[in-house]
Amino acid sequence: MSAAPHVRFAPSPTGRLHVGNGRIAVVNWLFAKHLGGRFLLRLDDTDLERSTTAFAEGIEADLAWLGLAWDGFARQSDRMDRYTAAAEKLRAGGRLYPCYETPEELSLKRKAQRAAGRPPRYDRAALWLTADERRALEAAGRRPHWRFRLEDRDVVWADLVRGEQHFAATHLSDPVLLREDGRPLYTLSSTVDDIELGITHVIRGEDHVANTAVQVELFEALGGPVPAFAHLPLLVDAAGAGLSKRLGSLSLESLRAEGVEALTLASYLAKLGSSDAIEVRTSLDQLAREFDLAHLGRAAPRFDPQELWPLNARLLHQLPFAAVAGRVDGLDEALWLAIRGNLTRLSEATDWLAICRGETTPVVEDAAFLAAAAALLPPEPWDGTTWKAWTEAVKQVTGHKGRALFHPLRLALTGREQGPEMAALLPLIGRGRALARLGGSS
């Protein structure tokens, strides 16, 4: 590939990003960064009724959380004059024509075509209207929508994921590019933007394959280079069912709130549906170095939220303190290194922070044994060798060993059955707290 690619992620700000959107964003970003290219964020906000500033800000927040910094930004609502100019060019070239059918009339036509065993393709009836007939329709209150006249040829392109794609002209319907109120539809605005913003590769979901067949002709009609296309299969759930109606609980916002780390999700989405093993990585740069679009398969990837938690734990277990500094009040490096190997969510660090630096309720199994252990607590300073030396002394005095020795001490000192190594925790708890929890006196 000679030139560095320019890609775009183009969500509509009509809701928060879900995992399907997230996968498209991650793949585009990694593809660009792997090849030294640029990643553009474009907000497709021409749906004025449903697009909101809050959703736009939420999308930017979700991408920032994932670490997907964009190299350029565009908002379609700022570019309406560009779509108007493109429409005028198409009209002048005889490729854009007005149509006056109502939605009900179009629906009846489609039903008739299906009943006759034909694909529901627009019959181009509007092309045969005379000027007088058009004036009469407009005088009656009809406002035209505008269709792009496709050429009577097949459309073929080499898809980077799906292989060669072939669409017969007889199966394609002239697409509507402008609504009755003059607002552009996605097919027009997206194509104009891809041309003018220099997009070289369009990586998106396979639900856009039919759009691509139309857009290839539109790129050519507008005199722009046709980008390379890659259409990814859509995610399904663990049982193989589509996610489209169940995405409320799989928004990036909700996963973040549940404690999923951004790198966990990015690692999962980067490898999901590929020939690569799903393994967590500690940086996006590492994911980018490993990324290869050719590794992505055509089968629908199964997104299982439960698979995120083992990955989340493995990520936390290897993160340096610098990666979490400032995210948990009071957490310091010594405590982090002691507890990270036992965390599944970062929020769990607050529990160990309280155990080591605050108050906790001890669990007392044998008060007499604990009192004897308390009497043997050595003076501070303590370090990583203190636990072994102390428990050896307790063993010699009390005769307890194995579980009978260690279990009651852990319960008393932490209130937990399990947890990080006590050799690391004991110096963090300190002699004063340890003595109080063992029932001793200072």
Percent residues over pLDDT 70 in the chain: 97
- Please provide residue 109's backbone torsions phi and psi, each rounded to the nearest 5 degrees: -60, -45
Using DSSP's 3-state secondary structure scheme, residue 352 falls into helix
Gap between the Cα atoms of 131 and 134, Å rounded: 5
CATH of the domain at 291: 1.10.1160.10
**Residue 242 within a domain:** no
Domain match, 56 and 205 both:
yes
Give first-to-last CA distance, the chain, whole Å. 73
The answer to whether the predicted template modeling score (pTM) of the entire model surpasses 0.85 is: yes
Domain match, 217 and 287 both:
no
Gap between the Cα atoms of 68 and 60, Å rounded: 9
**Residue 157 within a domain:** yes
**Residue 239 within a domain:** no
State which amino acid sits at residue 367.
A
Q: Report the pLDDT value the prediction gives residue 248, as an integer from 0 to 100.
A: 61
Domain match, 35 and 103 both:
no
* Per-residue exposure over 407-440, b if at least 16 CB sit within 10 Å of its own CB, e if not: ebbbbbbbbbeebbebebbbbbbebebbbebbeb
Which residue range(s) make up the domain with 275?
A: 248-323
| pLDDT tier for residue 50 given thresholds of 50, 70 and 90 | confident
Q: Which of 296, 323, 350 is the last residue of a domain?
A: 323
Sorted by sequence, the CB contacts under 8 Å of residue 226 that are 6+ apart come out as: 157, 216, 219, 220
Phi-psi region of 235 (alpha: psi -120 to 50; beta: other; left: phi over 0): beta
Q: Report the pLDDT value the prediction gives residue 297, as an integer from 0 to 100.
A: 92
DSSP H helices in 185-307? 186-196, 209-221, 252-258, 262-271, 284-290
**Residue 183 within a domain:** no
- Please provide residue 321's backbone torsions phi and psi, each rounded to the nearest 5 degrees: -60, -35
- Please provide residue 83's backbone torsions phi and psi, each rounded to the nearest 5 degrees: -75, -35
Domain match, 276 and 341 both:
no
Check pLDDT > 70 for residue 70.
Answer: yes
CATH of the domain at 359: 1.10.10.350
Other CB atoms within 10 A of residue 378 CB: 11
Sorted by sequence, the CB contacts under 8 Å of residue 422 that are 6+ apart come out as: 387, 406, 409, 410, 413
Average pLDDT, the chain: 94
Gap between the Cα atoms of 33 and 4, Å rounded: 9
Hey, what are 439's tokens?
């029932």
Using DSSP's 3-state secondary structure scheme, residue 361 falls into coil
Q: Report the pLDDT value the prediction gives residue 46, as an integer from 0 to 100.
A: 87
**Residue 97 within a domain:** yes
Check pLDDT > 90 for residue 440.
Answer: no
Q: Report the pLDDT value the prediction gives residue 44, as an integer from 0 to 100.
A: 94
Domain match, 432 and 343 both:
yes
Phi-psi region of 417 (alpha: psi -120 to 50; beta: other; left: phi over 0): alpha
Sign of CA dihedral 163, 168, 169, 170: negative
Q: Report the pLDDT value the prediction gives residue 239, as an integer from 0 to 100.
A: 78
**Residue 241 within a domain:** no
Domain match, 57 and 199 both:
yes
Domain match, 64 and 197 both:
yes
Gap between the Cα atoms of 442 and 439, Å rounded: 10
Sign of CA dihedral 108, 112, 117, 121: negative
Domain match, 62 and 138 both:
no
Gap between the Cα atoms of 40 and 38, Å rounded: 7
Check pLDDT > 50 for residue 145.
Answer: yes
Using DSSP's 3-state secondary structure scheme, residue 71 falls into coil
Sorted by sequence, the CB contacts under 8 Å of residue 69 that are 6+ apart come out as: 39
CATH of the domain at 162: 3.90.800.10
**Residue 17 within a domain:** yes
For residue range 76-119, what is the model confidence (pLDDT) as tens digits? 999 999 999 999 999 999 999 999 999 999 999 999 989 988 88
Residue 365's H or E segment, with its range, is none
For residue range 305-337, what is the model confidence (pLDDT) as tens digits? 999 999 999 999 999 999 999 999 999 999 999
For residue range 214-260, what is the model confidence (pLDDT) as tens digits? 999 999 999 999 999 999 999 988 877 777 545 566 899 999 999 99
Average pLDDT (346-371) is 94
Hey, what are 118's tokens?
């034909």
Domain match, 287 and 340 both:
no
Gap between the Cα atoms of 46 and 53, Å rounded: 13
> How many domains, in total, are found in the chain?
4
Domain match, 387 and 413 both:
yes
Beta-sheet strands, E only, within 61-144: 72-75, 96-99
Average pLDDT (396-405) is 96
